[in-house]
Copies of this chain bind each other. A is one copy, B any other.
Amino acid sequence: MTDQTPPQFTNTAIIGIGLIGSSLALALRARGLTDKIIGIDQDKDVLARAAALNLIDHAAASLKEGVSDADLIIIATPVGAIGEIVSGLREHARDGAVIIDAGSVKGVVATAAATLPERLLFVPSHPVSGTEQSGPEAGFATLFEERWCILTPLARTDEAYRGAVDKVAALWRAVGAQVDIMDAEHHDLALAITSHLPHLIAFTLIGAADDLESVTEAEIVKYSAGGFRDFTRIAASDPVMWRDVFLHNREAVIEALGRFTEELIALQRAIRWGDGKALHAAFERGQALRHTIIEAGQETASPNFGRDQMDDKGSEQN
């Protein structure tokens, strides 16, 4: 698991050229990890833009054409598409192909991957990394740097599969990520609290603000620097991707949501009864946790995320 040699691929097929697909294309190219990249996307316009951006060497007309000669297949679509894609790979992928995905839910991917024949080496992956932007134009080669990528390997112990797990871990390390390995069920629980619930809450806040009659949208916009604007970042993420996350991680999200709601009701009660001590005790926990996240290299120490030092076009660089 600690092999530091970057893996080398000949033909890489990327299915779904959005933020993650385009970032992986750029990162693979920047590190010289593949000779060629073949793009596959059900949206022909996306595929044309990916070619124009030089993200891919070839735009495949079909899944069959795109994957049949690939030694690395990257599935970077919303997780709802996994079943259909796995069916196509069963038919068209060549022997020994290494397959990864980048989905934010792993149980559903593991179930689909387990239906593949032994000749195909699917190692479910989740790079915990992204931005609120979507599409092939949104990608950048450093997206995975310093972030964690979680692998949830299948219950296979054959040498070919163990080799594929090592290779996939080395691939993610080569594009700058740190690698953790766990089972799909634990992944889905951990990500329910660190990613899915935060997104659901952000979407909920936007909805609640939208429905208020007494406060105008103009006021919400003007006074959003009071905190609201922070939530709009993750609420601006791709709606299809997030619909699929919630449809495929129902139990863990509802469990996390139950904890959240209990905590919220407790704080609401403290507000109603004017219990300043309880509020203060609850509010004190934030600073320590943020400090730990900054120390771990997962967040900037700059006040306001450093956004005040950015120009309005986002073109500032170090």
Contacts and interface: CB of A to CB of B under 8 A. Distances in A.
Interface in A109-146: 128-133, 138, 142
Contact of A290 (B197, B236, B318): B236
Contact of A316 (B148, B230, B231, B306): B306
Contacts of A200: 264, 267, 271
Contact of A223 (B190, B285, B310): B190
A172 interface: no
> Which bracket fits the contact residues of A?
35 or more
A208 B286 contact: no
Tell me the dominant secondary structure on chain A's binding face. Answer: helix
Contacts of A307: 299-300, 302, 305-307
B312 A211 contact: no
A210 interface: yes
A313 to B, nearest CB: 6
Given A131-B303, A205-B198, A318-B316, A293 B224 contact: yes
Nearest to A250: B271
Interface string A238-260: 01101110110010011011011
Nearest to A310: B306
Contacts of A190: 215, 219-220, 223
A249 to B, nearest CB: 9
A230 B209 CA distance: 19
A243 B317 contact: no
A206 B201 CA distance: 13
A296 B287 CA distance: 30
Interface of A: 104, 128-133, 138, 142, 147-148, 150, 178, 180, 186, 189-191, 193-212, 214-215, 217, 219-237, 239-240, 242-244, 246-247, 250, 253-254, 256-257, 259-264, 267-268, 270-272, 274, 276, 279-280, 282-287, 289-294, 296-314, 316-318
Given A189-B215, A193-B215, 11 more contacts: A190-B219, A194-B223, A195-B227, A209-B289, A212-B256, A229-B299, A247-B276, A250-B274, A305-B307, A306-B314, A309-B317
